[in-house]
Amino acid sequence: VTKIGVLTSGGDAPGMNAAIRAVVRTGIYNGLEVYGIMRGYNGMIEDDIFHMDNKSVANIIQRGGTILKTARSKEFMEAAGRQKAYENLRKRGIDGLVVIGGDGSFRGAQRFSNEFDIPCIGLPGTIDKDIAGTDYTIGFDTAVNTAVEAIDKIRDTADAHDRLFVVEVMGRDAGYIALHSGLATGAESVLIPETRTDVEDLISGLTEKEKRKKLVNLVVVAEGDEMGGGSEIGKILKNRLPNMDIRISILGHIQRGGAPSCQDRIIASRMGYHAVESLLSGRHNVMVGIVDDKMHYIPLDTAVKEKQAFTSDWLKIIKILAS
């Protein structure tokens, strides 16, 4: 490779900027030309591509969001869109790609590099942590710390009024933010998409604790829970437990923003460095992950197909610690 492109795609995540910085500076250090591609695959199709130097990534390691912007691209799902994208890369001689994004973005990258001879390296950038082959994804640690900070504040007011709060955190298909933030804030119960939600069990647990006059004040729900997220769970609990003062709080997009945590900056920097090293050593179509604190490479399609091993004993721990 001699010229590489870098883009951020799909859902945004804090730490993406630190990853971009690492890719650009490692590339330049190794004598490569580096191009920034705006708004994910859209920029490739619309030729919104610019030359980057060390200065282009100055003062961004600490910033949330992504300087390259991100988007979902319908056109890239079509063969004609990917053809256009390829021509724009070829025109500049770009012969390697680093895609920072989630499983959808990897699916796109895999397809693209099957069709055209451009090696793609994926970096897991998602607050949901729903990608196999890595212990960390860029943005998860920041998102979960933001959720914990917010839930701690809710706990104060819940406690002051003896209220039960149902707090919805992000996670349409994955319960990691809910599990981590729920365990870290001492929630009574955590409801996640990966397991069946037993409403009767939840209600009997809450009723039993009310009888014992235990302060019960937190249920954490992932937005993608099978019962339908915070509003629906809140409604059910209000109906079934009319004597309890129940409120619903949906944390929403604050979980995507903010300065990346120390951990997210570090993993983004390490992964970004190794993405370029991977292209230089001839690897293609792999995701760079970290497992047991060592760099770990798995094919992009495996990262997409497999889910992270699910830590099922956490639910049991949460239940026991909340008794």
Residues that bind ligand ADP (CB under 6 A): 9-11, 41, 72-73, 76-77, 101-105, 107-108, 111, 126
User: Which residue positions form the known binding site for ADP?
Assistant: 21-25, 155, 186-188, 212, 214-216
Q: Is 88 left (phi over 0), alpha (psi -120 to 50) or beta?
A: alpha
Question: In the structure encoding, which two tokens stand for residue 242, read together?
Answer: 């009319």
Out of 12, 128, 225, 264, which one is annotated catalytic? 128
CB of 212 to ligand ADP, least distance (A): 44
Is 48 in the active site?
no
CB of 33 to ligand ADP, least distance (A): 25
The residue type of 25 is: R
77/227 with CB nearer ligand ADP: 77
CB of 11 to ligand ADP, least distance (A): 4
12/194 with CB nearer ligand ADP: 12
104/258 with CB nearer ligand ADP: 104
What are the start-end ranges of the E strands in the chain?
3-8, 33-37, 49-52, 96-101, 120-124, 164-169, 189-191, 218-222, 246-250, 286-291, 294-299
Q: Which residue has the tokens 């819940």?
A: 158
Q: How far apart are CA 303 and CA 32, in angstroms?
A: 27
Look at residue 164 and give its three-state secondary structure.
strand
Residue 123 DSSP label: E
Q: How far apart are CA 312 and CA 49, in angstroms?
A: 44
User: Which residue positions form the known binding site for Mg(2+)?
Assistant: 103
Which ranges of 132-175 does DSSP label H, i.e. alpha helix?
140-161
The residue type of 131 is: I
CB of 114 to ligand ADP, least distance (A): 10
CB of 10 to ligand ADP, least distance (A): 2
List, as own/partner pairs, every contact residues 54-62 make where C-beta atoms lie below 8 angstroms and the sequence separation is at least 24, other chains included: 54/24, 54/25, 54/28, 56/24, 57/17, 57/20, 57/21, 57/24, 57/25, 60/17, 60/18, 60/20, 60/21, 61/17, 61/18, 61/21, 61/265, 61/269, 62/259, 62/260, 62/265
CB of 308 to ligand ADP, least distance (A): 14
148/303 with CB nearer ligand ADP: 303
User: Which residue positions form the known binding site for ATP?
Assistant: 11, 72-73, 102-105
35/76 with CB nearer ligand ADP: 76
219/286 with CB nearer ligand ADP: 286
Q: Residue of minimal CB distance from ligand ADP?
A: 104
Helix axes 176-185, 140-161, angle to 10 degrees: 50
User: Which residue positions form the known binding site for substrate?
Assistant: 126-128, 163, 170-172, 223, 247, 253-256
Q: Which residue has the tokens 């009888």?
A: 211
Question: Mind telling me the catalytic residues?
Answer: 128
